[in-house]
Amino acid sequence: MSAYDDGQLVRDTSSKIPLLLGNANYIQWSSSVSSLLLRKQALFCLKSEPLEDPSFHFDSMDPSDPSTIPTPLTPTEQARLAKQNEGLGILLQSLSEAVKNAVSAEAQDVFRPNPKLLWDELFTLYFQTTGHQISQLYSTLWSTRVPSGADPLPYLGAQRATMAQLRQSQKVEDQQVAYAMLHALSDEEY
């Protein structure tokens, strides 16, 4: 279930994903989407090659020719395919019309879901490593705080996504990652 609210795509009660409008909000958008996919255990779909759903080949199957009948997916593959489809759905629903018009039809094809292809195209189109954007990433990283008593995993997941973006543009030491994560915890937590 989703609805639009002040330029935000509202998912469940705990998640707001901004619509990707272009270069101006790519960093914020990608961090929000990565964090949501991490919580939904679907982050892998942005980096791994997609599984193909054999049910989409139903029209080309010939019951008299066993070679045309695809091998059924294992339960693990079915779960992975479901997460892959969920990942593509989240990505597509969080794109503005202008952005949808800028990416290829292949990347948006719901009958051959490939969230990795869409993610890579969006990165190529909208990620620009500028000093301002790098400073925004560091600001996000160091201003993230986990409220006392709150589950730290979503906050640390968002930090991990921010660090991944920083690492795409420059070398970031593991020690910096550890310090940032410790900084995010409240004084009572550590």
Give pLDDT, residue 5.
Answer: 43
Residues 76 and 150 in one domain: no
Query: 111-157, pLDDT tens digit by residue?
Result: 899 999 999 999 988 886 667 778 888 888 888 888 888 888 888 88
Distance between start and end Cα atoms, the chain:
37
Residues 187 and 175 in one domain: yes
Q: Is the pLDDT of residue 3 over 50?
A: no
Last residue of a domain, one of 103, 128, 153: 128
Question: Rounded to whole angstroms, how far apart are CA atoms 140 and 66?
Answer: 55
Residues 27 and 112 in one domain: yes
The tokens describing 125, both together, are: 């189109």
Question: Rounded to whole angstroms, how far apart are CA atoms 159 and 177?
Answer: 9
Residues 141 and 64 in one domain: no
Residues 122 and 28 in one domain: yes
Residues 121 and 160 in one domain: no
Give pLDDT, residue 11.
Answer: 45
Residues 100 and 175 in one domain: no
Q: Residues 159-166: what's their mean pLDDT?
A: 81
Residues 17 and 99 in one domain: yes
Residues 77 and 140 in one domain: no
Q: Residues 168-180: what's their mean pLDDT?
A: 81
Predicted confidence band at 98 (pLDDT cuts at 50, 70, 90)?
Answer: very high
Q: Is the pLDDT of residue 165 over 50?
A: yes
Q: Is the pLDDT of residue 163 over 70?
A: yes
Residues 34 and 69 in one domain: yes
pTM score of the predicted model: 0.61
Last residue of a domain, one of 76, 111, 128: 128
Give pLDDT, residue 189.
Answer: 60
Residues 158 and 176 in one domain: yes
**Domain extent at residue 37:** 1-128
Query: 43-75, pLDDT tens digit by residue?
Result: 999 999 998 887 765 666 677 777 777 778 899
Residues 33 and 106 in one domain: yes
Give pLDDT, residue 38.
Answer: 93
Q: For the chain, what is the mean pLDDT?
A: 83
Residue 109, amino acid: D
Q: Which of 178, 173, 180, 169 is nearest to 144 (CA)?
A: 180
Give pLDDT, residue 19.
Answer: 95
Query: How many domains, in total, are found in the chain?
Result: 2
